[in-house]
Amino acid sequence: MPEVLETSQQHRRLVLKALLWLTVWGGLVFGAVNVGREMWLLAGLEIIYAVFALGLLRIVDTTPHLRMWTLIYLFPFFALMTFALVLPRTSFTVFAWIQTVPIICYLLLGLRGGLWMSLGFLSLGVVAFNYRYMTDDSWLNIMVAANVGLSSAAILLFSHIYERSRVANEARLLELASTDTLTGLANRMKLAEVFQRERSHALRDNTPLSLIILDLDHFKHVNDQFGHEGGDRALRHIAQLLPQRLRDTDLFCRLGGEEFAILLPGADLAQAAERANNLRELLAEHPPQIAEASQVMTFSAGVATLGEDGQSLDSLMVIADRRMYEAKGGGRNQVVAAGQQYHLAPMSSGR
């Protein structure tokens, strides 16, 4: 979803900004300390990188190429950590920064990018640490290598598990947020998302895009006669029945109550109206079973198309809804599209 992707991007911008500020102040402080220790090369690199991070802070909020700049920042950042670790006069505590690599990578690059960059630089860091602090005691070397390697692997593993679980939970929440819980159909939020995508395709390819709004006739009578359980059964029946005459590219949504919407990419007004009429006939042929008996059920529908009836989802919904009410006012059990009516013979139940 565009809103979710934007939220994720904004989160990564905030994380990167925090890291950049940390780099600025850390680079200046450690650079000054290493100047005092006469470690000129390392001090120079740290100060230069602090200035580079300060420059990135000016664009991080607005750049459309956030991932590219993140990679440009991270490669030298992690390389500088590894370089500092192998210098003879630096402290072993530099390795503590190496172990932040998986956390930073997963926060900024996601699951796949975070895994590969973490594996690469964490492996280099472990090798550099063991090379730097190798002693004449082989058993001690083995112990140091095992502790450093296993602790680093644990951080990488837990970071990966957390990010994978977070991605799965986010996907599940998105699915729940865009799905009607009773029928399993898409909801209004999903309709808005798909409409934006299909509208872009329709305008680019000069193809039609239509919307059907349908409302079940006298649905309150069903609830009054059979209770909400009977009404819910009827709604689920419709959610399973009508998609049988829809294409895979069509989107069938429940807007709320007994009102539904169908988005039809590639269908003009006449084609969409004919599709709606076919669906109405299908429902007449296969009524829902409630209280062990078939219950006659009909719907009234209105149709609107992109361009002729508006350019936004809201404008199409207003027109389609207005035509649906025209169908209701004209006797129900019919489809109205720009003055054309499609209808069946009156049902014996009168509903």
Rounded distance between C-alpha atoms, residue 331 and residue 351, angstroms: 10
CB-based burial, 127-137: b 16+ in 10 Å, e otherwise: bbbbeeeeeee
Predicted local confidence at residue 343, as pLDDT: 57
Say what the pTM is. 0.65
Rounded to 5 degrees, what are φ and ψ at 52? -60, -45
CA–CA gap between residue 17 and residue 55 (Å, rounded):
11
Find where tokens 């109206």 sit: 273
The per-residue pLDDT for 345 is 41
**Any residues with CB less than 8 A from the CB of 141 and at least 6 apart, and which?**
130, 134, 135
| pLDDT tens for the chain, residues 1 to 351 | 555 556 678 889 999 999 999 999 999 999 999 999 889 999 999 999 999 999 999 999 999 899 999 999 999 999 998 998 888 888 888 888 888 999 999 999 988 999 999 999 999 988 888 888 887 778 887 888 888 889 889 999 999 999 899 888 887 877 777 899 899 999 999 999 999 999 999 999 999 999 999 999 999 888 888 888 999 999 999 999 999 999 999 999 999 999 999 999 999 999 999 999 999 999 999 999 887 777 889 999 999 999 999 999 999 999 999 999 999 998 999 999 976 665 544 443 333
Using CA atoms, how far apart are residues 101 and 109, in angstroms rounded to an integer?
11
Who's near 197: CB < 8 A, 6+ residues apart? none
**Which three-class secondary structure state does DSSP give residue 210?**
strand
Q: What is the DSSP letter of 246?
A: S
Helical spans, DSSP H, in the chain: 2-36, 40-57, 66-86, 95-98, 101-132, 138-177, 188-205, 219-241, 269-285, 313-329
Count the Cβ atoms, other than its own, within 10 Å of residue 302: 27
pLDDT value at residue 86:
87
Mind telling me the catalytic residues? 258
pLDDT at 2: 54
Q: Looking at the chain, how many residues does it have?
A: 351
